[in-house]
A and B are shown apart, each in its own frame.
Chain A
Amino acid sequence: MRQQTGSEPSSQNLAFVMLNARPVDMDVADAESEGYYDPMSQTWIAPLHAQISSTYSTHRTAGGATSSDTTHRRDD
C-alpha cells in the first residue's frame, strides 16, 4: 500500500491512522495500479479520480462531521 509518510509537506503532522491513507486524486500516470473502492458507488475507482473529490468534499455526507450528522454516506 502506498503510504503518505513523507509524501505530503505536512507529513510530520499526520496522525497514526492517516498513515493508512491512499491518495485518490493523483495524476493518472501515478494511478495505474492504484484503486479501488466502489461498492456502488461510494466511489473512487482510480484513475477515474475525478469522482473522488465528490466523495470527500462536494458530496459530503449531509451533516458532515458535525455532531448532528444525520446520515452516513461514508458508511460502507
Chain B
Amino acid sequence: MSKTRPVLIVTAKLDTHADAVISELKARGQPFFRLNTDDFHTEYRTMLRSGDRSVTFEDIWGRSVRFPHDVHAIWHRKPVESNNPPGVKQRGTADMIQSETLELLNSLSCFHDRPWYNNPENNRVSQRKFPQLCLASELGFRVPRTLITNDPGEARRFAAQTQGGVLCKAMKEAGYSTPNGSYFIFSRRVGKDEFDAHADRIALCPTLLQEYIEKDYELRVTVIGDEVFACRLDSQADEAARIDWRMVSPDRIAHSMVTLDNKVEAALKAMMRRFGLRFGAFDLIVTPEGETVFLELNPNGQWYWIELTTGAPMASAMADLLQS
C-alpha cells in the first residue's frame, strides 16, 4: 500500500463522499491532493508540460502534485464545471473559458499509466443504458424488454404487447431547466390511457420504454475494487417509492446489507471488467419469484448514504482501493 505518493482526487468542493474517504486516508497517513474543479480558477494553477508528459496542479495553500509521475492513483469522483473567473460575466467569454478548462481536465484521462477509479472515458461509455442492457443480457441477466424509439407507432405496438404496463425513464438526463423552473425526471410507470393520449410526443425525442417488472425488493450493489456491498432496499412497503425509490427520502426505506448470489456477483464483476471499471453501482430488482433483474449500472454512482444507513465500511474500502 502506498504511503508515499499522493492520491489525486478530482471532485467538487461539496462532496461528502470525498470527505469521508479523505478522513480515512488521513487516518492512514496517506498523502492526497484534492482538486475541486468548481474552484479551479481561484484556487489552482496548472501546468501541462510536453517535455516530461506531466500535468502539475498547485493550490493557493502551496500544495502541489505532478501527474502522473508523482501520483499513486487518481480518483475521478464528481468534478463539476468550474465557476467563472472573478469578473467574467459575459456569456460567450465564460463559455470559451469553460470549454478550454474542461479540455485541460479531460487531458488527464489520456494517461493510462496510473490506476484510475474510474477513467472518465470508461465512465462515459459504460453509463449508456442501451449497451448496459445488451451486455447484461449477454452475461445471463434477465433485463426488462426495452424499446428506445422516436417512432410513436412502434412505441404503441410495444406498449400493446407489454403486460404489466410500460415504464419510461430518461437515458441520461436527470432533469432540465426552463425559464419557468427546474424539473427532475423520475422513472415512471405510464398508465394505458395516458400513454395513448401522449404517445405522439415520442416523435419529439428518443424515448426509453421498458416492460414494467413487479419487484419484491431492490438491490443497490456497489462494487469497490473486489469488495461487493449489496444493499437491499425494501421500497415496496412505501407506496410512493414503489416505482422509483428516489421519490421518497431514503430514511423511509429499510436498508439492509445482504450477500449476493455468487453467479450474480460474478456477472456484475464481469460487466465491470468489460467496461474497464474498478468501481460501479448497480441497480437490480428481485421479483416476487426470486429472479434477479438487471436495471442499470451507474459507473460513478453514489454510495455514502448506504454506509451512513447501514454501517457498511464503504469509505474504508474505497481508501483501500485508492491505496492498492
Chain A residues in the interface with B (C-beta under 8 A): 1, 4-5, 8-10, 13-26, 35-42, 44-45, 52-53, 55-57, 59-66, 68-76
B249 touches which of A16, A38, A55, A59 (Cβ 8 Å): A38
Q: Given the complex of chains A and B, what is the CA–CA distance between A17 and B174 in angstroms?
A: 11
Q: Are B81 and A62 in contact (CB under 8 A)?
A: yes
Q: Give me the interface of B with A, judged by CB distance under 8 Å.
A: 12, 14, 16-17, 37-38, 76, 78-82, 102-103, 105-106, 109, 120-121, 123-124, 127, 155, 168-170, 172-178, 180-188, 190, 194, 198-199, 201-202, 204-205, 207-208, 246-250, 281, 283, 298-302, 304-305, 308
Which residues of chain B come closer than 8 Å to A74, judged between CB atoms? 172-175
B237 to chain A, nearest CB (A): 16
Decide if the interface of chain B is mainly helix, strand, loop or mixed. Answer: mixed
Pairwise interchain contact B185-A18, C-beta atoms closer than 8 A: yes
Q: In the complex, what residue of chain B is closest to A35 when comparing beta carbons?
A: B249
Partner of B178, one of A10, A38, A44, A75: A10
B184: contacting residue among A9, A15, A21, CB under 8 A: A21
A18 to B105, CA, bound (A): 32
Q: Is the CB of A76 within 8 A of B79?
A: no
Contact of B198 with A5 in the complex, beta carbons under 8 Å: yes
- Closest-by-CB residue of B relative to A21 is B183
**Chain B residue with the shortest CB-CB distance to A63:** B102
Q: With A57-B177, A70-B109, A72-B299 as given contacts, are A16 and B304 in contact (CB-CB < 8 Å)? A: no
Are A16 and B80 in contact (CB-based, < 8 A)? no
Please, how many angstroms separate the alpha-carbon atoms of A14 and B154 in the complex? 19
Known A-B contacts A70-B105, A71-B120; A22 and B184 likewise in contact (beta carbons under 8 Å): yes
A71 touches B80 (CB 8 A): yes
Which DSSP category, helix, strand, loop or mixed, fits chain A's interface?
A: loop
B187 touches A20 (CB 8 A): yes
Output the nearest chain B residue to A65 by Cβ-Cβ distance: B173
Check A17/B205 contact, CB under 8 A, given A36-B249, A38-B250, A69-B124: yes
Contact check, B184 vs A71: say whether CB atoms are below 8 A apart. no
In the complex with contacts A17-B170, A19-B198, A38-B250, A55-B76 CB distance below 8 A:
no
Task: Pick the contact of A1: B124, B174, B186 (CB < 8 A).
Answer: B186
The answer for the CA separation of A35 and B122 in the assembled complex, in Å, is: 32
Contact A68 B103 (CB under 8 A): yes
Which B residue's beta carbon lies closest to that of A10?
A: B178
Q: Do A59 and B183 have beta carbons less than 8 Å apart?
A: no
In the complex the two chains form, is B168's CB within 8 Å of A73's CB?
no
B169→A16 contact, CB < 8 A: no
Minimum CB–CB distance from A37 to chain B (whole Å) comes to 4
CA distance A57 to B183 in the complex (A): 11
7 sampled A-B residue pairs with Cβ under 8 A: A15-B205, A19-B194, A20-B187, A52-B184, A71-B79, A72-B300, A74-B174
From A16, A20, A68, B199 is in contact (CB under 8 Å) with A16
Query: Could you tell me the distance in whole angstroms from the C-beta of B95 to the nearest C-beta in chain A?
Result: 10
12 further interface pairs, Cβ-Cβ under 8 Å (given A24-B181, A63-B102) = A16-B168, A18-B185, A20-B187, A24-B175, A36-B249, A52-B175, A57-B182, A59-B80, A62-B37, A63-B81, A71-B79, A76-B301
